[in-house]
Chain A
Amino acid sequence: MNFGDRIFGFLLYVTGIVFVAGAVHLVSILLMPQVAPHDAYARLSRLAKPGQMVLLPPALPGHEITPFEDPAMAQAVCLYDVSSAPLHLHAEIPDAGLLTLSFRTRSGKIFYSMTDQAALHGTIDVRIMTEPQLEAIEDSEDDENEPLQELRLVAPDVKGFVLVNALAAFPSERAAAEARATSVSCSTEAIAQQ
């Protein structure tokens, strides 16, 4: 084996290491949302039960659930699992207070978000479902010309959560904001009932 062959062999191994490192890096980045042990869903599922809107404790020093919380917001969360039935979200929007909703997957991706400005005739109605459930509902509806009174979202993942934010514009509005956040109802319902 001459010097040139040795260099070539060495470079081959270095290339191998770089290739393996690159592959491991990319795979670990892509897998992180699935495997991170203390992600938002894991933290929220310790406080909430699926199919129920649960008020989260206010953000106070040392008692935050997640980092970068807005202390002016009252937050409520509804965990869902649409594997067997869709989730129905309903809210009456009586006043002008800010209310925002975000629909997130188990791994934290936001697939839809809205504010109370999107309310139709003072109400918000959202159904989260899987693709087959949506097809079943659409098949069972006879009148296709009737305008839809609700928003239908296909969940990219059967598990996820809906986060509701209600702004307490003044500290004295805290209780009202908490009431506004929890006034958004969230329930799992059977397809037959629709």
Chain B
Amino acid sequence: MLTLFKFLAVALIGTALGLAVTYGVLQRGVAFNSVQAGPWRGLPKSGSPEVDPYARAKLARSAELPLGTAEGLSFIARADSSGATLQPRCDYDVSGSMPAARYWTLTLLSPKGFLIDNPAKRFGFTSAEIVRASDGTFDITVARQARPGNWLPLGKGEPFVLMLRLYDTLLDFGTAKLGAAAMPKIVKGRCE
């Protein structure tokens, strides 16, 4: 009788522990095959049939629809180029080089991936609509107060992340290693 009780306890504790580990892993987001280039992090395998089971489980729970490999690649920045977490009370400057792609879009989202409302109703930029300097370079200012040029409003001060999508890109992680210099820099400006 005691042995049966002990076996039952092992099964119960084991199950609880296993589910707790699953919950923790999906909350934290364990990712294999992730690519990091400066502040930008991508999961290029999410859009291919070779997606790993952990990424699939996380996508199923969040209901996110990642881009297919041939559609493009997406990257998320949760920190600036110095590695400090993005602060809603600070201004940021996004500029520099961009990998070759037919189009790219930069979107400002909450850390859970939802749009942040703002009076300007501006949630992101596409590569086509952006105002560029005469030499083709661009500069996007992420700030709470309106700015001349490419202003991406921050909303009322909620935490945020930046998402960069490269559509129809020739970038291939199988053959090339993506360096921080190939991606835009995110530089912190003035803080309130």
Chain B proximity of A114: nearest CB distance (Å) = 5
Whether A32 touches B60, Cβ cut-off 8 Å, given contacts A17-B13, A22-B18, is yes
Asked if B71 is an interface residue, CB under 8 A from chain A, the answer is: yes
Kindly supply a per-residue 1/0 record for chain A positions 157-194, scoring 1 wherever the CB is within 8 Å of any chain B CB and 0 otherwise: 00000010101111100000000000000000000000
Can you list 29 A-B pairs, Cβ within 8 angstroms, ordered by A? A13-B9, A17-B10, A17-B13, A20-B17, A21-B21, A24-B19, A25-B18, A25-B22, A28-B19, A29-B25, A30-B53, A32-B56, A32-B57, A60-B115, A61-B115, A62-B114, A67-B114, A68-B64, A68-B65, A70-B163, A70-B165, A72-B107, A100-B67, A110-B49, A111-B49, A114-B68, A115-B70, A115-B168, A171-B129
- Cβ < 8 Å to B, chain A residues 1-52: 13, 16-25, 27-30, 32-33, 36, 38-40, 42-43
Question: A64 contacts B114, CB within 8 Å?
Answer: yes
| Complex CA distance for A146 and B190, rounded to whole angstroms | 65
Does any Cβ of A come within 8 Å of B182's Cβ?
A: no
Q: Please measure, in the bound complex, the distance between the C-alpha atom of A167 and the C-alpha atom of B15, giving whole angstroms.
A: 46
Check A98/B18 contact, CB under 8 A, given A29-B57, A110-B69: no
**Nearest-Cβ distance from residue A181 to partner chain B, whole angstroms:** 13
- Are the CB atoms of B15 and A24 closer together than 8 Å? yes
Task: Check if A66 is an interface residue, CB within 8 A of chain B.
Answer: yes
- Chain A, residues 104-143, CB within 8 Å of chain B (1/0): the string is 1001111111110110000000000000000000000000
| Chain B residues whose CB sits within 8 angstroms of the CB of A20 once the complex forms | 10-11, 13-15, 17-18
| B interface secondary structure, majority | mixed
With an 8 A cutoff between CB atoms, is A91 at the interface?
no
Task: Check A100 against B103 for contact (C-beta < 8 Å).
Answer: no
Q: Are A66 and B18 in touch, CB under 8 angstroms?
A: no
The CA of A39 and the CA of B115, in the complex, are separated in Å by 19
Complexed CA–CA distance, A21 and B21 (Å): 8
Nearest chain-B residue to A163 (Cβ)? B65
Residues in chain B within 8 A of chain A (CB atoms):
6-7, 9-11, 13-15, 17-19, 21-22, 25-26, 47-49, 51, 53-54, 56-57, 59-72, 74, 102-103, 105, 107, 109, 112-117, 123-124, 126-129, 163, 165, 167-168
Distance, CA A189 to CA B70, complexed state (A): 27
Which chain A residue shows the least CB distance to B21? A25
Q: A17-B17, A40-B64 are in contact. Are A167 and B167 (CB under 8 A)?
A: yes
- A36 x B61 contact (CB < 8 A): yes
**Contacting pair A169 B103 (CB below 8 A):** yes
Known: A33-B56, A98-B167. 9 other contacts (CB 8 A): A20-B10, A20-B15, A36-B63, A61-B117, A67-B64, A102-B47, A109-B49, A167-B126, A170-B128
- Please judge, given known A-B contacts A20-B10, A61-B114, whether A113 and B21 are in contact too, CB under 8 Å: no
B residues near A22, Cβ cutoff 8 Å: 18
CB nearest to B118 among chain A residues: A61
Chain B residues within an 8 Å CB radius of A165 = 71
Task: Tell me which residues across on chain B come within 8 A of A55, comparing CB atoms.
Answer: none
Contacts of A85 in B (CB 8 A): none
| In the bound complex, CA of A22 to CA of B93 (Å) | 45
Does the CB pair B126–A21 fall under 8 Å?
Answer: no
Closest to B69 in A: A113
Determine which of A27, A71, A110 lies in contact with B68 in the assembled complex, contact meaning CB atoms within 8 Å.
Answer: A110
Q: Closest B-chain residue to A43, C-beta based?
A: B63
Residues of chain A contacted by B47 (CB below 8 angstroms): 102, 110, 113
Complex CA–CA separation, A25 to B62 (angstroms): 18
